[in-house]
Structure 1
Amino acid sequence: MAQQKIKPWVKAALEFGPLIAFFVAFVKLKDESYTIGGTDYSGFILATAGFVPLLVITTLILWRLTGRLAPMQIATLVLVVVFGGLSVWLNDERFFKMKPTIIYLLFAAILGLGLMLRRPWLALVMEEALPMEPEGWRILTQRMALFFLGLAVANEVVWRSMSDQAWVNFKTFGLTVLMFGFFMAQGRLFARYGIEKKAD
């Protein structure tokens, strides 16, 4: 399928829409217990049950509109379906809460392996949007691997020691802010090693 460009707001809506919907559903359902088929489910589990198929639908729409999915998007989708599905099936929210830890550890391991093999896998994903010299990609890869390790630790601390509301806030807003802040902090690296695109 040929790659196509879509409007940025459409892409953002498809990528962040399910997360916002999960947050809204949790806020509305968190204080009650719901009996379905003779089993009691918390609002957290019901919000998760809605989030999983919604993410599948929006990811398929994004793939249909753009003709491609990034490896990170595919890995996230698979882990959400697996761990979110386990949480709903076993009525145990811990599986879904562990999902960010697993995915960040996976990303850190992949980036670390790329560094050991001297293969710029991060560049393959981001080079079109952010052209840089090889040394810049090596440094950014090191930093991102450590950053993902830090996010994995942070997620474990939050979900194991804080309330459901605190974890949902962290997942919905905290992780997004931290990711944005990380890339903003790389401004000097981008300026030093960035390569200007040649005009056609």
Structure 2
Amino acid sequence: MKIALDLFPILLFFAAYKFASIYEATAVLMAATVVQSLLMYRLDGKLATLQKVTLALILVFGTLTLVLHDDRFIKFKPTLLYGCMALGLFVAQYLFKKNFLKTMLGSQVNLPDANWQTLSTAWILYCIFMSALNAYVAHYFSTEDWVNFKIWGYIFPLIFIVGTGFYIAKHVPPAENAANDESVK
């Protein structure tokens, strides 16, 4: 259900673009993200920080796109989002000595601190990669190509998240794996 909610706005954006223009698609994306946020709030009783940031960026950059009739704003929104995520993780990890991923997931996954450090660094590098990749496609390719990249480019986050899952599973201490195996029976 959560994955369907995550994909809901981008799929509607893609469909709206194919049947109309980037401007109608942007309005659809804005409305769909508001609906998505309301549904997530209803399900969880709160909105995650990333969801709040995403909603704010889509509303701000979407409004700029529509008011100024300039698609560069919506095309560079993912670049800014990924850049902010990389910067936030970096500042937390290296300046404040706080591992944001451990703070978020530490109650669910027991990993040694060195593995949390590696995971955080991997996420920082991934966010920098995605920010740069979106900027490159947004700048050097047509709007049509960028929209296609947005839908087919979801392979990058899927691969990275699956890889993160494998990394976590590989480094979970054996005692926790045994406890999880017992709870499944």
TM-score, scaled relative to structure 1: 0.81
The structure richer in helix per residue is: 2
- 2:138 paired with 1:147: no
Tell me, in whole angstroms, the C-alpha distance in 2 between the residues paired with 1:179 and 1:189. Answer: 15
Tell me, in whole angstroms, the C-alpha distance in 1 between the residues paired with 2:108 and 2:4. Answer: 20
Q: Greater CA deviation, 61-70 or 141-150?
A: 61-70
Q: Counterpart in 2 of 1:3?
A: none
Unpaired runs of at least 5, structure 2: none
Task: Give the one of 52, 68, 82 matched to 1:90.
Answer: 68
Tell me, in whole angstroms, the C-alpha distance in 1 between the residues paired with 2:90 and 2:28. Answer: 34
Counterpart secondary structure, 1:185:
helix
Q: Counterpart in 2 of 1:67?
A: 45
Task: Give the one of 36, 56, 59 matched to 1:81.
Answer: 59
**Following superposition of structure 1 onto structure 2, how do residues 47-66 of structure 1 map, counting pairs within 5 Å?**
47-66=25-44
Moved beyond 6 Å, runs of 4+ = none
Tell me, in whole angstroms, the C-alpha distance in 1 between the residues paired with 2:132 and 2:146. Answer: 13
Q: Counterpart in 2 of 1:27?
A: 18
Q: Counterpart in 1 of 2:98?
A: 119
Tell me, in whole angstroms, the C-alpha distance in 2 between the residues paired with 1:110 and 1:77. Answer: 17
Cα 1:182/1:46, change in 2 over 3 Å: same
> Displacement, 1:187?
5.5
Counterpart secondary structure, 1:95:
helix
Is contact 1:70–1:125 with CA below 8 Å preserved after alignment? no
Tell me, in whole angstroms, the C-alpha distance in 1 between the residues paired with 2:63 and 2:110. Answer: 38
Q: Counterpart in 2 of 1:169?
A: 148
Cα 1:66/1:25, change in 2 over 3 Å: same
RMSD: 1.9
Q: Counterpart in 1 of 2:137?
A: 158
Aligned residues: 177
> Displacement, 1:173?
2.6
Cα 1:14/1:186, change in 2 over 3 Å: closer
Is contact 1:97–1:159 with CA below 8 Å preserved after alignment? yes
Q: Counterpart in 1 of 2:117?
A: 138
Tell me, in whole angstroms, the C-alpha distance in 2 between the residues paired with 1:155 and 1:70. Answer: 23
Tell me, in whole angstroms, the C-alpha distance in 2 between the residues paired with 1:54 and 1:188. Answer: 32
Is contact 1:136–1:194 with CA below 8 Å preserved after alignment? no
Cα deviation digits, residues 71-120 of structure 1 (max 9, x gap): 11111111111111110111111000110010111000011011112211
Cα deviation digits, residues 126-174 of structure 1 (max 9, x gap): 3345442221111010011011011111011101111212111211230
Q: Counterpart in 2 of 1:5?
A: none
Is contact 1:135–1:193 with CA below 8 Å preserved after alignment? no
Is contact 1:14–1:59 with CA below 8 Å preserved after alignment? no
Q: Counterpart in 2 of 1:110?
A: 88
Q: Counterpart in 2 of 1:37?
A: none
> Displacement, 1:188?
5.6
TM-score, scaled relative to structure 2: 0.87
Give, as a single letter, the amino acid of the residue that structure 2 aligns with 1:120: N
